[in-house]
Amino acid sequence: MKVRLTQFLRRAVHASVLSAAIVATANSACLLAEDNPRVTPIVEAIRKTESAVVNIQGNKTVSNTSANGVSTRQEVNGMGTGVIIDRRGLIVTNYHVVDSVEKIEVTLADGTTSIAKLINYDPETDLAMIKINVDWDLPTINVGRSDDLLRGETVIAIGNPFGYQNTVTVGIISALHRNIPVNGSQQYTDLIQTNADINPGNSGGPLLNTNGEVIGINVAVRVGAQGIGFAIPIDNALDVMANLVAQYRKSGSHGLLCQRVPCEDGCQLIVREYESSSHKSSRDIRSGDEIITVGGVTVRNQLEVELALLDRDPGESVNIELGRNGQSVIQSIVLEKNNVVTEESEISRLAWERIGVRVTPVSGNQLKALGEEYKGGLKITEVRSGSPAARERLSSGDIIVGVMNWQTPNLKSLAWVLANNSYQSSLTAKFYLIRRDQPITVALGQDRIKR
């Protein structure tokens, strides 16, 4: 009798659980129904996008100097948000979220946690690219436009405010083209202003439209204010991200400069300019051609062009499908060698030719006595006569700790700076040095030696 009663109870519990599951499934199906009034455009936009949003955690050590000049070091917890831009694990966020973070911990929407590596960044726009290694294809963000935004239109922010993961807030676009000063020497330009709640931890996350497309990267909140937040327009962010990927790729320039042009179906990607130094590349790529695919991958913006070439090797030939006068045209480009050098001897040669110095790395430990957060530096051992360094009276013993907005703790970092478009296009660049234990700043030009 006892056995039969136990079996009866088990069956009853199983039936109850099964019934609850059926009801839950039915309710879920009901909520997913297109005609359900609760499934608003905002709900649909979140569902389309949230799987491509990640939470970022990390600790960093900061230095504080008191009024009496005493320096102290303090470890602080950092948090932020990022968006997945490529199925292979590339994520964009704000640079200030990951700057000086030793261990960048990324949590995906499904709860999976990975350690990310900082692969490139642009301090001027406060954008950075990190990468996690995964064995599966990740969901990616849907990219919209920011050239047609309307004041008053509904926007959505997803982020990690104060560590509350996957938080959604809603608001409107309050204003466009805002310039916001950061400090005495830097400011954010051309930002979207929104009243969607953006708090510490939202930085680097997406600002969405009601179609579930990212239209901006959340970057800042006005301290002490309520309902005032800012985002980098996605059109501006795409240009920076494309440049960051191009510098990270194994191969170098492909010669294609593109622009998105509005059309009836959204946007077309049009060749603005084409110039390739490889004699093996097709010459019949014209300004005004529509770029449809690169290496068989459909592309809609310059970032997707760079991502389509991400794993390609220097010297490899890649087919480009173009639209021209209503016809499909196939051309090919041959990828050049990446101009970011990695061999120390080559980096040293570039520093000698462009700046006029020979340098040797010094460790961060050797600079600790200065009370600053230097990861290392490059000590000058020789200055070339008549060079930019000589004209600004740099001398042996000076230690280069930064150029423009980037630290230079080693030769590899210097190579990255020398290859950066912001540095190459500048007439002069700020160099931060230590001279006899005192920080100084000089503005150096560069010698452009033609080969």
Among all residues, which ones are annotated catalytic? 96, 126, 203
125 vs 94, 187, 231, 379, CA distance in Å?
9, 9, 11, 29
Of 314, 365, 287, 339, the C-alpha closest to 451 is 339
Q: How far, in Å, CA of 391 to CA of 428, rounded?
A: 13
Of 276, 258, 253, 247, the C-alpha closest to 420 is 247
For residue 382, which amino acid is it? E
Q: What residues does 441 pair with on adjacent strands?
A: 432
Residue-wise over 326-357: b if at least 16 C-beta within 10 A, else e?
eeebebebbbbebebbeeeeebbebbbbbbbb
Q: How far, in Å, CA of 43 to CA of 199, rounded?
A: 21
Give me the residue label for tokens 């006595």.
Answer: 369
Q: How far, in Å, CA of 409 to CA of 415, rounded?
A: 11
Give me the residue label for tokens 């969405």.
Answer: 208
Encoding tokens for residue 185? Answer: 């020497």
